Amino acid sequence: MKRLELKETNNTPNVLFDTEKNIFVIDGKSFPEDSKEFYRPIIDYFDVLKNEKLQELVLSINLFYLSSSSIISVKQVLLKLVELNDKGVKVKVVWSHDDDDDDIKKTGEDYQKITKLPFEFKVN
Amino acid sequence: MDLNKVGSVEESIFTAKVNSIKAAYTGDDKKILVSHVGELDQDKVNTISSLVETQMENLGVSKSAVKKIFNIVIETLQNICLHGEKDNNGYQMTYFIIGKNQNEFTIFSGNIITNIGAEKLNIRLNSVKSLNDVELKKQYMEVLSNGELSAKGGAGLGFLTIALKSGNNMDFEFQVLNKEYSLFTLQSKVLG
C-alpha cells in the first residue's frame, strides 16, 4: 500500500493518494512559495508506483487556481503518469473546473495536448 | 547600500514614485484598494492575495476579472519574492498597490534590481510586449511544453501570464538609483 496525504494550506492544495482505496486526488489552490519543493513528494510518489503492479490509475485534479510555477510542476506530475501509461497502466486524468472558468479548462486542455493522456473534463 | 535610509537619493526616488501613484487615485470613482510598502515574503503574499480577493468580491467585480487580477497579483508578488534584490541589511524595498478608476483596476509594483539584471529584463519584457495574443499563447505553450523550474523556482511563465491576463496591457520602467541598482516598476490593467 502506498499512501500520500498533504493537508490543504492557504496556498497549497489538498493531496490524497492511496493505492489501496484507489484514490488519487489533488484539489484546492496552488501557489506555493517553492513549487519544486511542494510537488517533489508527489512526483516521487508516482515514480515509485512504476514498481507496483497497478492496472488502472485515475488522477482527479480540481485546482481552481494555479500559479505559473505550479503549472510547470503539475506538468511534471502528469509526465510521470505518461511513464506509467507507457508501462501499461491504464491512466486517466479527470480535470474538473468551474462552469465559468475557461482559463482553468484551457490549462487542462494544454496538458492534454502536451501529455496526450486520456482526459475527462468535468464541470463542478 | 542602505535603501531605507530616510533622505537618501534611493529612498527619495522610491517614495516619490509611491506618492505619485497614490496621488493619481484621489477624486471621484478613484480609489486605492490595496497598498503595501516594505518587505515581502510568502506570508505577506498570502495576506495580500486574500485581501485582494475579498475586496474584489465585495465590489461585485465579475468572477473572471477577480481571477485575472488574482493571477497577476500572485505572479507579481512571487516574482518580487524570488528576484527582488535586498540591501546590505537584508531590507527589501518594494511597493505593491492596486488602484481602481471606475471599472479599471491597475496593479502597480516596484522593486530593486541590479543594473545588469535590469538590462536583461528590459529585453525580455520588450519582447513579451511586442507579441500579440496568438503569439503570446504560442510562446506560453512552448515554455509550458519544454520548461522546467529554474534553481530559484522561476517558471519563465510569470510575465507571459501577466501579459495574457491583462490583454498585454502591461507597462514597465527601469529607473537607475545608483551605479549598482535600479528601481523596476511594473503596471498592468484589468477591466472589471
Distance CA A62, CA A65 (A): 9
Dihedral (CA of B116, B117, B120, B122) sign: negative
Tell me what percent of the residues of chain B surpass a pLDDT of 70: 94
Q: How many CA atoms lie within 13 Å of B73's alpha carbon, on the beta-carbon side?
A: 28
A19 and B CB contact within 8 Å: no
Reading the block at residue A43, the C-alpha cell is 512526483
Q: Searching chain A, which residue's CA lies closest to the CA of residue B155?
A: A69
Q: Considering the domain B9-114+171-191, what is its CATH architecture?
A: 2-Layer Sandwich (3.30)
pLDDT for B153 = 64
A109 and B CB contact within 8 Å: no
Distance CA A6, CA B102 (A): 42
Domain ranges of chain B: 9-114+171-191
Identify any residues that bridge with B182 across adjacent strands, giving them in sequence order.
Answer: B113, B176
Residue B185, pLDDT above cutoff 90: yes
- Residues in chain A with CB shorter than 8 Å from the CB of B158 are 68-69
Pair A107, B141: CB distance under 8 Å: no
CA of A124 vs chain B CAs: smallest distance (Å):
15
Residue B175, pLDDT above cutoff 70: yes
Residue found by looking up cell 533622505 in the block: B7
pLDDT in tens, chain A (124 residues): 589 999 999 999 999 999 988 899 999 999 998 999 999 999 999 998 888 888 999 999 999 899 999 999 999 999 999 999 999 999 999 999 998 888 999 999 999 999 999 999 999 9
Reported pTM: 0.91
Q: Which fold has domain A3-123?
A: Transcription Regulator spoIIAA (3.30.750)
A103 and B CB contact within 8 Å: yes
Reading the block at residue B47, the C-alpha cell is 495576506
